[in-house]
Amino acid sequence: MTEQRVLPPNIDEVTLEAFFDNVSSQIGASNVSRDHTFGAPKGPHGQYSYGIHSPLHVITARVFIVKAANRFRIPLWTVSRGKNLGYGGSSPVVRGSVVLDLHRMKKIIEINEEYAYAIVEPGVTFFDLYETVKKRGLKLWPSVPSLGWGSIVGNTLERGFGYTPEGEHSQMQCGMEVVLPNGELVRTGMGAMEGNKCFALFKGGLGPSVDGLFFQSNLGVVTKMGIHCTPAPEAYIKCEVSVPREEDLVSLVGISTDLLRRRILSNSPGFANIVCLAMAAAAAGDVIVRSKVAPYVGKTAIPDRVLKEIQTTKEWPWWVNLFSLFGPRDLVEAQLVAVKRAFSKIPGAVVTAKLHTCAPGQVLNPEVIGEEPEILPQTGRPTLHSLSMLNFRENGAGHVAFAPVIPPSGRELYEWYLKAKKLTMDAGFDFVADFHLWARYAIPIDLVMFKSSEQAKMRALLKDLTDMTVKLGYSEYRTHVSFMDEVASHHNFNNGAMAKLTSAFKDFLDPNGILSPGKSGVWNSSRPSPKL
């Protein structure tokens, strides 16, 4: 081991080794990794390490080590699989924390086809659930985010999303099993009753609902979760709406979210800009696009004038909106008529639609739809297709996602977009638009790709984006571990009343502060958050 070991705060080497020895005696040495260079699930570049920013001390084990962590006062940083790409991966807020990696807890407890739900452990990936559904021949389309190798539990707890009608994962969660910081096991909702058969069916339970306490949280370790799935449809129309001008974003967003509120659209539309199209074409070997972007790649942002040249040459749109229609054939065909009528109000808009149907009385199997790997997996079929974009700026480049929540009209989003685009391009980075819409909010992700030598510039850009976004009256829905305190500091209503409340929960449930300290800006009241 060539790197110097990073110790948790106020913990010496002897105490840390005693903790590892104690845990190893309970769960076996093969479940304890004392070096960050091995033990993790396979990463985007084929590595099995936890990354250079992760601590050197890693555990992959079952959750009863929480009690040992309390005894030795060792801080744990909990991850389901560590695939929180763009937000820090498996890296903790407090350097030297021991990573409690749950990726070996891979049991699918139950899949119920009739009621369209699954109950899974934290290590179950979207690929795992999909392959199990396929193997059993079940008529379900589980929701999947853009990269399918992540944890269903982890993605849901971070309020991640997918692209089927049940794609708003935090809303589709139903029932949790949680290990509290003192090692006590609880079940939420109807799971609080021993043997209740509605654990994954009715979220509320009796009395106060506490599930929300464990989202983006350091108040417990979720070890089981119910998640709702989409029943496989009889017909499916894959839709794409293209518009030619940058300013068309205003109308494109406004019409899309109105259709969502009216239940004409049932899944989350995803937007990509011409930068995404250029990157995909260059990665696929398009000689024309490569020649035009080559002078700028890895050096600065591709200028708008070059993008407009590419647009003219390739006859591309500036924005592409992807969504689908799900249901009986007569229903989705009627919905498509309404969709085309709505978007016809945008001059130059083009609606492309592809209908998939099956025999009467049957439902669609995503395996036989015959599409190429989807950028947005709207059929529930997982993919890693988006990983190909990560090498655009440099082989092995990093990326970070700046992801605010904006009102769902195009006006507010376009105002934020223009400011964010200028800041991003002025800093020398391409504005890669990964925008997502729901009926009453939008999450326009600025996907910043950076070389290893550009980390300081990237951090300065994130600070500028945060400041600008706050001035407009918005905040991120999730953020990189390095910016958790910064973002949390802006949630300041009534002199930070929410921070005081979450700190009180932390003091009560985790008085030793051992579980994911600093997660989402939540700390014990006795320990002020450090400067990162």
Which tens digits make up the pLDDT trace of 313-329?
999 999 999 999 999 99
234 phi, psi to nearest 5 deg: -80, -30
Same structural domain, 46 and 129: no
CATH number reported for the structural domain that contains residue 116 in this entry: 3.30.465.10
Evaluate if residue 371 carries a pLDDT over 70. Answer: no
- What is the pTM (predicted TM-score) of this model? 0.92
Cβ–Cβ under 8 Å, residues 393 and 450: yes
Evaluate if residue 47 carries a pLDDT over 90. Answer: no
468 contacts: CB under 8 Å, gap ≥ 6: 419, 420, 423
Which residue from 314, 309, 381 is spatially nearest to 134, judged by alpha carbons? 381
Same structural domain, 342 and 270: yes
Please, which pLDDT band fits residue 11 given cuts at 50, 70 and 90? confident
Residue 135: enclosing H or E segment and its boundaries?
A: helix 126-136
Same structural domain, 269 and 410: yes
pLDDT average, residue stretch 81-108:
85
Which tens digits make up the pLDDT trace of 484-517?
999 999 999 999 999 999 999 999 999 999 999 9
Range of the structural domain that residue 465 is part of? 233-479
The secondary structure of residue 466, as a DSSP letter, is: H
Evaluate if residue 390 carries a pLDDT over 80. Answer: no
Evaluate if residue 59 carries a pLDDT over 80. Answer: no
CATH number reported for the structural domain that contains residue 59 in this entry: 3.30.43.10
**End-of-domain residue from the set 206, 231, 256:** 231
pLDDT average, residue stretch 89-118:
91
Query: For residue 43, is it within any domain?
Result: yes
Structural domains of the chain, count: 3
* Burial of 437 from C-beta contacts in 10 A (0-12 / 13-18 / 19+): buried
What tokens does 80 get?
A: 């389901």
87-91, 104-108, 375-379: least confidently modelled range: 87-91
Q: What is the mean pLDDT of the chain?
A: 90
pLDDT of residue 65: 82
CATH number reported for the structural domain that contains residue 451 in this entry: 3.40.462.10
Which residue from 398, 474, 458 is spatially nearest to 88, judged by alpha carbons? 398
Cβ–Cβ under 8 Å, residues 513 and 503: no
Q: Count other Cβ atoms within 10 Å, centred on residue 128.
A: 21
What tokens does 135 get?
A: 């193997």
pLDDT of residue 472: 98
Cβ–Cβ under 8 Å, residues 255 and 345: yes
